[in-house]
Amino acid sequence: MAELLAGEAAVVQINSDESARLSARFKVRGIPVVHLLHKGISVDQLQGAQSPESVLNWFRRNEKSK
């Protein structure tokens, strides 16, 4: 995903067990979960296992709604 979005977005993977503060901040209740952040605030999230195409489409839909 990072390669597909290079130059458009930063893609970061966090281990929720090792990053309890981030997990609490973003109210992670299950994994996997993807949060779309804008200026440090979660503006949308995608829960459950998704195909790369599904994640990319989700990102593109959110990008258009800015």
Confidence class of residue 64 from pLDDT cuts 50, 70 and 90? confident
Q: Look at the alpha carbons of 37, 6, 56, 30 in this order and tell me if their dihedral is positive or negative.
A: negative
Domains of the chain as residue ranges with CATH: 1-66 (3.40.30.10)
Q: What is the DSSP string of the chain?
A: -TTTTTTT-------TTT-HHHHHHTT--SSSEEEEEETTEEEEEEES---HHHHHHHHHHHHHT-
How sure is the predictor about 63, in pLDDT bands with cuts at 50, 70 and 90? confident
Tens digit of each residue's pLDDT (9 = 90 or more) over 43-62: 999 999 999 999 999 999 99
Q: What is the pTM of this model?
A: 0.84
